[in-house]
Amino acid sequence: MKATKAGQSTLQIARTILEDFDNLLAIARSGRTGAGMNDSSYDTGGTALHGSGMNEGDKSK
């Protein structure tokens, strides 16, 4: 059971990260400009890969 639970939570984290990247791509495509947009996208990507800072990504939405 523990292995299954761990697998499910890993999939959930991966899904969340993919959704964040989808949102960032949508922002980039929509043409919202500003230096801050690129900075926040790099920050979100970096922190998400390390498994922390996912709440920070939510704040930027």
Q: How far is CA 59 from CA 2, 3, 50, in A?
A: 31, 31, 18
Please write the tens of the pLDDT for every residue from 2-59.
657 777 888 899 999 999 988 888 877 776 555 454 555 444 444 444 444 455 555 5
Q: What pLDDT shows up at residue 32?
A: 59
Please write the tens of the pLDDT for every residue from 23-36.
888 877 776 555 45
Residues 28, 37: contact at Cβ < 8 Å?
Answer: yes
The pTM of this model reads: 0.36
Q: What pLDDT shows up at residue 55?
A: 52
What is the helix (H) or strand (E) element at residue 1, kind and residue range? Answer: none
Total number of domains constituting the chain:
1
Closest C-alpha to 60, from 13, 46, 9, 50: 46
The whole domain housing 53 covers 2-60
CA dihedral 49, 32, 55, 46 (to 10 degrees): 20
Q: What pLDDT shows up at residue 59?
A: 53
DSSP state of 52: -
